[in-house]
Amino acid sequence: MRRSGEGLTFQDLRERGTSVLRDSGIPEAPRDAFLLLQNAAGLDAAGLLARLDQPPSDNAVALFRGFVARRAEREPAAMILGRTEFWGIPIRVAPDVLIPRPETEGIVEEALHLSARDGVVIRTIADIGTGSGCLAVALAAEFPDARIFAADISGSALDLARTNVEAAGVSARVRVIEGDLFEPMGSLSLEGGIDLVVSNPPYVRRGEIDSLAPEVSRWEPRAALDGGPDGLSVIRRLIEGARRFLRPGGFLVFEIGHDQGQGVLGLLERSGFVDGAVAPDLAGLPRVAAARRPEGNARLASPGARKGQECSVC
């Protein structure tokens, strides 16, 4: 009987894998085949490139075939491998959490930009709906004096977030806590005391989830995507919570859908936030919304409210 890998080189495997993935409609077929082969062989990119004309072990061949079969079912590569990178930091992922995406790094960039621009010292950060914990870990690295409260409603997501926080060596400053949006912050008496609130909330319109890429619609957790009928249900609650929990002058920075910029700026303004702005992602699409809770009592003024009057929606 032929041994499974007999006569094959890494290059042959790479080509076969690429063609299987291409036939399954995967646009990044060459990249993913290479990444999966690298992991099946336990090699880094340079190591694999140097061995393309050599025969892989039977074990690597079997592993690679398994990986390619899963990827052909449109399971995301990061989920197959159980890990990815965010802000240059290794992050473990599992089916319970959204896979960290490059566009979400825009939240870290924006937080750094705002705190540097305004010379604000960030001491307390809340990450609402932390998922894998990627934002909490990246912000812990960038704001070495800050304490971070990372909350999620999903217990299994929090187990993973804890693993990532520990692996990054920041568990002394990052507290991972279970609850819906700001609920756990309330029990920690953090109302009015947070300098920076960040979030990658679910913001996809419910009716559009099934038309997203199969990697997202079939494999990623609905709870991390579903923003209700208009996509803004969680964002509305995030903004309301941030208004209560931010200290005056504190920042809210969060991810939005590419067509939600105007709507979200309107919500922020109506909730009394100032300096609302939307930053684009690498594709040039609106992706990160940011705003500031005003200093002093101005935060309670709605656009039409006269000085000294209570805001009608507060």
* Contact residue for ligand GLN among 41, 160, 225, 232 (CB under 6 A): 225
Nearer to ligand GLN, 42 or 218 (CB): 218
Q: Does residue number 256 form part of the binding site for ligand GLN (CB under 6 A)?
A: no
Nearer to ligand GLN, 219 or 240 (CB): 219
* Contact residue for ligand GLN among 26, 40, 198, 204 (CB under 6 A): 204
Among the candidate windows 20-28, 89-97, 116-124, 196-204, which touches ligand GLN by CB under 6 A? 196-204
The whole-angstrom separation of Cα 177 and Cα 168 is 17
Q: Does residue number 152 form part of the binding site for ligand GLN (CB under 6 A)?
A: no
Binders in 64-103 for ligand GLN, by CB under 6 A:
98, 101
Nearer to ligand GLN, 176 or 238 (CB): 238
Nearer to ligand GLN, 60 or 255 (CB): 255
Structure tokens at 191: 């109302």
Q: Does residue number 203 form part of the binding site for ligand GLN (CB under 6 A)?
A: yes
- With b meaning 16 or more CB within 10 Å and e meaning fewer, what string describes 226-241? bbbeebbbbbbbbbbb
Single-letter residue type at 107:
I
Nearer to ligand GLN, 60 or 253 (CB): 253
Which residues are CB-contacts of 108 (< 8 A; sequence separation ≥ 6)?
87, 135, 138, 139, 142
* Contact residue for ligand GLN among 216, 238, 264, 267 (CB under 6 A): 216
Q: Does residue number 260 form part of the binding site for ligand GLN (CB under 6 A)?
A: no
Burial of 177: CB neighbours in 10 Å, binned 0-12, 13-18, 19+: middle
Nearer to ligand GLN, 26 or 41 (CB): 26
Q: Does residue number 212 form part of the binding site for ligand GLN (CB under 6 A)?
A: yes
∠ CA 84-88-90, rounded to 5°: 40
Nearer to ligand GLN, 5 or 76 (CB): 76
Structure tokens at 236: 């509305």
Among the candidate windows 42-50, 168-176, 198-206, 302-310, which touches ligand GLN by CB under 6 A? 198-206
296-304's contacts with Cβ under 8 Å and 24+ in sequence apart are: 296/248, 298/272, 298/274, 299/243, 299/248, 299/272, 300/272, 301/272, 302/270, 302/272, 303/269, 303/270
* Contact residue for ligand GLN among 255, 273, 290, 293 (CB under 6 A): 255
CB of 136 to ligand GLN, least distance (A): 15
E strands within the chain?
83-86, 89-92, 124-128, 147-152, 174-178, 194-199, 246-255, 274-280, 286-292
* Contact residue for ligand GLN among 202, 241, 250, 286 (CB under 6 A): 202
Give the residues lining the site for ligand GLN (CB under 6 A): 98, 101, 200-204, 212, 216, 225, 255
